[in-house]
Each structure stands twice: as C-alpha cells, then as structure tokens.
C-alpha cells in the first residue's frame, strides 16, 4: 500500500514539474536575463553596479532587440532597459561560469535545475522532519504546482529555488550529530549562501550563537574555519571574473537597499512595512529588534528540542517580515518553517502551520487587491516567526527559572 502511494506521489511530482515548466516557459524571465547578461558581460563591463555599467548593459540589451541572430526569448527579455544590478559578485560570477553562452539553452537548463532544487529541498526537509516518503513527495508536488512564491520565482527566473535547496541542506547538516564533517560542510555551505545572497546572513548568525551558547566550541570553530576558507575562495574567484574590487562596488550599490522604496504592492512589492505605511527607519528598527529577540532566544533556549530549526526559521522570517522590499518569490524561503510546523508527528503547532499555509499559499490565489496579498503574506511570515520563537521559549523559561533559583539559594 505504501509503495503504491509513493509511486502515485512520484508521478504527481513529475506532473507538477511539467505544469511549472509549461506555465513559465513563456515568460521573459527578467531576473534570469539580468543575471545572465551581467555574467556574459563580465569581460567588458567591469563594474555593473555603477551607473555607467548599467547603461552599458542596457545598450547591449538594446542591440539584442535588433539582432536577427538573437533568440525570441532574449529579444523579449531585452525589452527591459531599467536594470537594477544589486546582486553580489558571487551570484553574477556563478552565472558567468555556468553559462554556455546560448541564452535559450542556458535558460532552459536553469529552469530545470531550479525545479530540481525546489523538489530536492522539500524532500530533504520533509524526510528530516519525519514525513513519510509518500507525504514528502505530495508536498513537493503541491509546492511545484500551486505555491505562489515558487510560481513567481519560476516566472521571473530568480534564485530562490536554488537558495531554498542550500537552506534545506544547511538545516539538515545543523541537525546532525556534532562531528567534524557536518561542521565543515555546514560552514562552507553557509559562507557560500551568504555571499551568494546575504538575505540568509541572520540564519548563519543565529546558528552560530546557538552552538556557542551550548559551548560546542569545536563544532563552531570548525564551522567558522570552513566558512572562512570557502568565503575567501569565493571572493577571490568572483573578483577574478570582474577584476578590480567588485565587492566594494557591490557594497556601495547595496547600501541603498534598506532605504525607502517607491515600489508599491501594485508593482509587486509585498513588504508588510510598506503596505502599512511604515517608513524605512521604522522597518529597519523592527528588523533589528526581531534579530535581537531571536538572538536572545537562541542563547537562552539553547537546550530546546529542534532549536536549530527554530533559529533558522526565525532567521528567514524576521527580515522578510519587515524588509522594505519583498517580492513574492522571497516568501519561498518560508518553506522549511511550513514543512516543520505541518509535520505529521507533532500537532502542537500544526494550527500555526495550517494558518500560515493559507495566508501564504492560498490567499494570493484568491485576493484581487495587491495590498491584501501583501498583508496576508506578511501575516503568514509573522505567524511562522512567532511559531519559530515558541520552539525556544519553553527552554528559555527553564533556563531563566534555574538561574533565578540558583541566585535565591546563593542569597540565602
């Protein structure tokens, strides 16, 4: 019976992957096009983060529109002449290194790799969280076929599916016994994830705080050493692709990302802080407060069961909740939290998982107002943040009780 259910679920995954492939092959994949264009232009445009570099990229795109040898997909994507180059040198260098130079071939391969990453991420996490194989496959099929953040990522060709696979592997490694191999592997992976796209930096910081609070010095040391080595290699390799000092150029361009943005929900910005009219100052302050609360709980709740999952999920949800810019595909990184709180083995926080799934995965299909979608997605992220904190609160309460009890005995 279980074998039959697993085979049926596997067939559904294949069907869902085909649905995603067919639905999104007709898009102009603006994000993929920009990543690909910067990678292809690395030898000519050394500083794509500058205004001059962006103009040079736009001119190359304009020439592609009239080039009879350019593919239809590339000509469609090249209509976008307003190019915001804010990604890291490592991300752009990765596209340069892994590209064949043929836009259509590269886009097709990238789309396939992204779908594979999303599927494997769900399977890794679901099995790690105790889901039976058939249920894990059904979760992967549902994600591919009906989850709005994944559809958004596939449509624009962003990197969130790839990030999700890296985040899933990091969480799985963090839950393994404290041995050298998981320490080294998780350190190298975390460094590459942060340098690839820094929106996962808080996840790494909270995991380190957790291990240090547990006095797992050797594991934390090996993790940091591997991260430093992998990070140094990644910075050196990406710098060689562009020449000069691309990381400083990127830092200058990225410094304005936390500022107020004129993009409203109608333009695709599903930031909760923007939807409720909060300024960038208040939004950034809220992110800092959430990060500090998460850090305190990581330290105080260090003995909690599945504390690694709690801090990792909080590290994703916190910045996403109050960021000044949040595209729909950013919410794909909430998948680990959804899978954990929906797991069959534990019903304590399943209600939070179900409600968050409705808010993030169902309401965007039904709502017609962009602001309503932004509020719903923000509420889902907030619910998962609180649920993640709750994994740590009980252990933190026990730690504080023990501390005050010891202080009372010393006083008496």
- Sequence-separated (6 or more) residues with CB below 8 Å from residue 49: 85, 86, 246, 249, 250, 252, 253
pLDDT tens for each residue of 370-403: 999 999 999 999 999 999 999 998 776 655 454 4
Does residue 66 form part of some domain? no
pTM: 0.93
What is residue 289's predicted lDDT score, i.e. its pLDDT?
94
Using CA atoms, how far apart are residues 313 and 301, in angstroms rounded to an integer? 14
Q: 315 lies in which domain range?
A: 257-412
What is residue 296's predicted lDDT score, i.e. its pLDDT?
94
Does residue 364 form part of some domain? yes
Does residue 338 form part of some domain? yes
In this structure, are residues 140 and 168 in contact, taking their beta carbons and an 8 Å threshold? no
Does residue 374 form part of some domain? yes
More confident residue, 67 or 382: 382
Q: Which of 36, 42, 85 is nearest to 237 (CA)?
A: 42
* Total number of domains constituting the chain: 1
Q: Is pLDDT at 404 greater than 50 in this prediction?
A: no
Does residue 302 form part of some domain? yes
Does residue 11 form part of some domain? no
pLDDT tens for each residue of 155-213: 999 999 999 999 999 999 999 999 999 999 999 999 999 999 999 999 999 999 999 99
349 CB neighbour count, 10 Å cutoff: 21
Does residue 378 form part of some domain? yes
Does residue 78 form part of some domain? no
Q: Is pLDDT at 316 greater than 50 in this prediction?
A: yes
């Amino acid at each position: 019976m279980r074998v039959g259910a697993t085979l049926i679920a596997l067939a559904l995954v294949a069907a869902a992957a085909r649905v995603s492939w067919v639905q999104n092959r007709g898009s102009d994949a603006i994000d993929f096009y920009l990543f690909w264009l910067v990678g292809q232009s690395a030898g000519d445009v050394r500083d794509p983060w500058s205004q001059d570099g962006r103009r040079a990229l736009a001119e190359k795109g304009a020439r592609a529109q009239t080039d009879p040898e350019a593919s239809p997909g590339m000509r469609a994507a090249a209509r976008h002449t307003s190019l915001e180059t804010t990604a890291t040198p490592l991300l752009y260098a990765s596209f340069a290194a892994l590209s064949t130079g043929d836009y259509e071939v590269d886009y097709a391969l990238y789309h396939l790799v992204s779908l594979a990453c999303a599927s494997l991420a769900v399977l890794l996490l679901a099995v790690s969280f105790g889901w039976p194989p058939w249920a894990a496959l059904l979760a992967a099929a549902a994600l591919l076929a009906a989850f709005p953040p994944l559809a958004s990522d596939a449509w624009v060709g962003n990197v969130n599916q790839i990030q999700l696979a890296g985040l899933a592997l990091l969480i799985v490694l963090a839950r393994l016994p404290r041995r050298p191999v998981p320490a080294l592997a998780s350190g190298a992976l975390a460094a590459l994830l942060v340098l690839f796209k820094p929106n996962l930096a808080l996840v790494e910081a909270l995991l380190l705080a957790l291990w240090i609070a547990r006095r797992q010095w050797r594991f934390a040391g090996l993790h940091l050493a591997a991260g430093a080595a992998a990070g140094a290699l990644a910075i050196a390799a990406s710098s060689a692709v562009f020449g000069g000092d691309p990381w400083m150029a990127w830092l200058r361009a990225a410094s304005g990302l936390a500022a107020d943005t004129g993009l409203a929900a109608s333009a695709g910005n599903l930031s909760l802080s923007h939807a409720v009219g909060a300024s960038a100052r208040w939004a950034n302050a809220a992110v800092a407060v959430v990060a500090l609360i998460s850090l305190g709980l990581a330290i105080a709740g260090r003995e909690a069961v599945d504390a690694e999952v709690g801090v990792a999920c909080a590290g994703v949800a916190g910045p996403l909740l109050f960021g000044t810019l949040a595209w729909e595909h950013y919410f794909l990184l909430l998948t680990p939290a959804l899978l954990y709180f929906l797991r069959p083995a534990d019903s304590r926080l399943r209600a939070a998982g179900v409600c968050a799934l409705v808010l993030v995965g169902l309401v965007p299909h039904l709502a017609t107002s962009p602001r309503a979608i932004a509020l719903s997605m923000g509420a889902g992220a907030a619910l998962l943040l609180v649920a993640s904190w709750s994994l740590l609160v009980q252990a933190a309460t026990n730690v504080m009780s023990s501390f005050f009890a010891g202080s009372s005995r010393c006083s008496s």
